[in-house]
């Protein structure tokens, strides 16, 4: 039922057995490919990631910031497949570059949210009552601020910039990781094999890293994919509002914002950056749904 990735509930203890049922690595990819969501998601993410990596290594047809005064606002042609903008820059190169920046920021943001959120969730689920209560209270309060708003005030405090965008978006997503991880950890702590390990005298660290974390990895993978979708969207929203990394850093959200006044005469300046954002957002969302289907056999369609 994942819709925005923000509304997904953590697995209930009862759902856990299915949620953690291990699927072999090869089985996972096959299951992913066989679910329609997963297949479309894989393809879209593949295209987007390939484009972003190419751009990061300078694989754009033109220098994205090169302003060709002889080619202002040109229609898409063979030499400029996505046309040119009002400064004569090649839109394809700008889109590729922006996609690269966007994915870099999203990955860093998800890394921040994932690491802090997972630690928070594990600590809240595995350690004592007091720590748990404090962490969950703080999480509740962060939840009371809509994630994009949380990102906005972090940008307000830190100022706009590449790193600050990533921090802001990451902070916004932390509470979701905490909730998603804590539920299963709480249930796993009481499960038969963890109790058995405890009786055998395994250290807490061993229980945590060898017996609990591996069983949360599936849920983490799903959440990471959904978080990436949200982060790309949030990054684009921030830079659309003029609160992203300042120029000359390319940014899809800023391109859409600039194109607003041009789109009536030059549709390509609006269409292509928009499509890039949409591909990335839908791709990661579908990949997350597909991963969920693949990991949880009950939702997998025959």
User: Could you say whether residue 134 binds another protein (CB under 8 A)?
Assistant: no
Q: Rounded to the nearest 10 degrees, how much is the dihedral formed by the CA atoms of 260, 250, 286, 11?
A: -110
Residues 252-271 that bind another protein (CB under 8 A): 253, 256-257, 259-260, 263-265, 270
Candidate list 42, 122, 155, 219; residue touching another protein; CB under 8 A: 155
Place of tokens 């390990």: 197
Q: Is the CB of 28 or the CB of 145 nearer to another protein?
A: 145
User: Could you say whether residue 147 binds another protein (CB under 8 A)?
Assistant: yes
How near is the Cβ of 297 to another protein at its closest, in Å?
Answer: 19
Specify burial of residue 130 (Cβ count, 10 A radius: 0-12, 13-18, 19+): exposed
Residues 4-43 that bind another protein (CB under 8 A): 4, 6-7
How near is the Cβ of 137 to another protein at its closest, in Å?
Answer: 7
User: Could you say whether residue 63 binds another protein (CB under 8 A)?
Assistant: no
Q: Is the CB of 197 or the CB of 268 nearer to another protein?
A: 268
User: Could you say whether residue 45 binds another protein (CB under 8 A)?
Assistant: no
How near is the Cβ of 222 to another protein at its closest, in Å?
Answer: 17
Which phi and psi (to 5°) does residue 74 adopt? Answer: -85, 145
Q: Is the CB of 3 or the CB of 21 nearer to another protein?
A: 3
Candidate list 141, 193, 209, 210; residue touching another protein; CB under 8 A: 141
Residues binding another protein: number (CB under 8 A)? 48
42, 289 contact by CB (below 8 A): no
Q: Is the CB of 19 or the CB of 238 nearer to another protein?
A: 238
- C-alpha 98: how far from chain center: 16
Query: Quick count: other Cβ atoms within 10 Å of Cβ 20?
Result: 20
Candidate list 154, 186, 213, 221; residue touching another protein; CB under 8 A: 154
Q: Is the CB of 7 or the CB of 36 nearer to another protein?
A: 7
Candidate list 18, 115, 144, 196; residue touching another protein; CB under 8 A: 144
Binding mask 197-236 for another protein (x = CB under 8 A): ------------------------------------x--x
What tokens appear for 151 in the block?
């990102």
What is the C-alpha to C-alpha distance for residues 279 and 41, in angstroms, rounded to an integer?
A: 9
Stretch that binds another protein, among 64-72, 118-126, 138-146, 218-226 (CB under 8 A): 138-146
User: Could you say whether residue 109 binds another protein (CB under 8 A)?
Assistant: no
User: Could you say whether residue 163 binds another protein (CB under 8 A)?
Assistant: no
* Chain positions contacting another protein, by CB under 8 A: 1, 3-4, 6-7, 136-138, 140-149, 152-159, 233, 236-237, 240-243, 253, 256-257, 259-260, 263-265, 270, 274, 277-278, 281-282, 285
């Amino acid at each position: 039922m994942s819709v925005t990735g923000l509304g997904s509930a953590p697995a209930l203890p009862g759902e856990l057995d299915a949620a953690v049922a291990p699927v072999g690595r090869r089985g996972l990819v096959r299951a992913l490919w066989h679910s329609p969501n997963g297949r479309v998601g894989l393809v879209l993410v593949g295209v987007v990631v390939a484009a972003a990596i190419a751009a990061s290594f300078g694989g754009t047809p033109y220098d994205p910031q090169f302003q060709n005064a002889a080619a202002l606002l040109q229609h898409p042609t063979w030499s400029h497949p996505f046309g040119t903008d009002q400064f004569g820059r090649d839109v394809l190169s700008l889109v590729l570059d922006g996609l690269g920046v966007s994915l870099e920021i999203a990955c860093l943001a998800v890394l921040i949210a994932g690491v802090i959120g997972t630690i928070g969730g594990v600590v809240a689920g595995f350690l004592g009552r007091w720590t748990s209560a404090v962490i969950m209270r703080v999480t509740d309060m962060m939840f009371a601020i809509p994630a994009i708003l949380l990102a906005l005030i972090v940008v307000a405090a830190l100022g706009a910039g590449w790193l600050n965008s990533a921090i802001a978006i990451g902070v916004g997503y932390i509470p979701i990781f905490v909730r998603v991880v804590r539920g299963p950890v709480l249930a796993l702590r009481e499960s038969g094999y963890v109790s058995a390990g405890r009786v055998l005298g395994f250290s807490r660290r061993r229980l945590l890293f060898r017996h609990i974390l591996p069983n949360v990895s599936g849920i983490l993978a799903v959440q990471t994919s959904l978080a990436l979708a949200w982060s790309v969207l949030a990054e684009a929203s921030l830079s659309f509002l003029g609160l992203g990394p300042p120029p000359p850093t390319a940014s899809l959200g800023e391109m859409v914002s600039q194109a607003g006044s041009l789109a009536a005469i030059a549709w390509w300046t609006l269409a292509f950056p928009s499509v890039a954002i949409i591909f990335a957002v839908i791709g990661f969302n579908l990949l997350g749904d597909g991963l969920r289907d693949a990991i949880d056999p009950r939702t997998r369609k025959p």
